[in-house]
Amino acid sequence: TSTPSLSPSVSRVPTLMPSAHPSKVPTSSPSAHPSISTQPTSSPSAFPSTAPFVLFTYGESLYTDNDLGIQISVGLTARQIAQSGSSVRYDNGGRSSRRYHGMT
């Protein structure tokens, strides 16, 4: 095996800004810490979500899911993934060796 050596064009001084092409050898000291702003950006996102926005108060527009025995907000869906005292069915069809615990 051979020992790598620096070519004359490689700088040993870290840069303050990230480069588009990182060096193949490490620098001798760490990079400067990034600055973190607590101020909001001055303009909105370029690509806002296309999801519809519906404002509602918690507990408003509930329906009862009789299969699960729960009340849930209109527009949401739920499914049962475990039942207290029973083993858990895995996505691959297997089952857990332990029973799911209930809240006590």
Q: Which pTM does this prediction carry?
A: 0.35
CA triple 17-21-23, angle to 5 deg: 90
For the stretch 28-56, pLDDT in tens is 766 666 666 677 777 766 666 777 777 76
Which is nearest to 74 in space by CA: 92, 61, 89?
A: 61
Q: Which two tokens stand for residue 36?
A: 């973190």
Is 60 exceeded by the pLDDT of residue 2? no
d(CA 55, CA 75): 12
Evaluate the CA torsion angle 4, 7, 9, 11 in order and state its sign.
positive
As a whole number of angstroms, the distance between CA 56 and CA 51 comes to 15
pLDDT of residue 83: 84
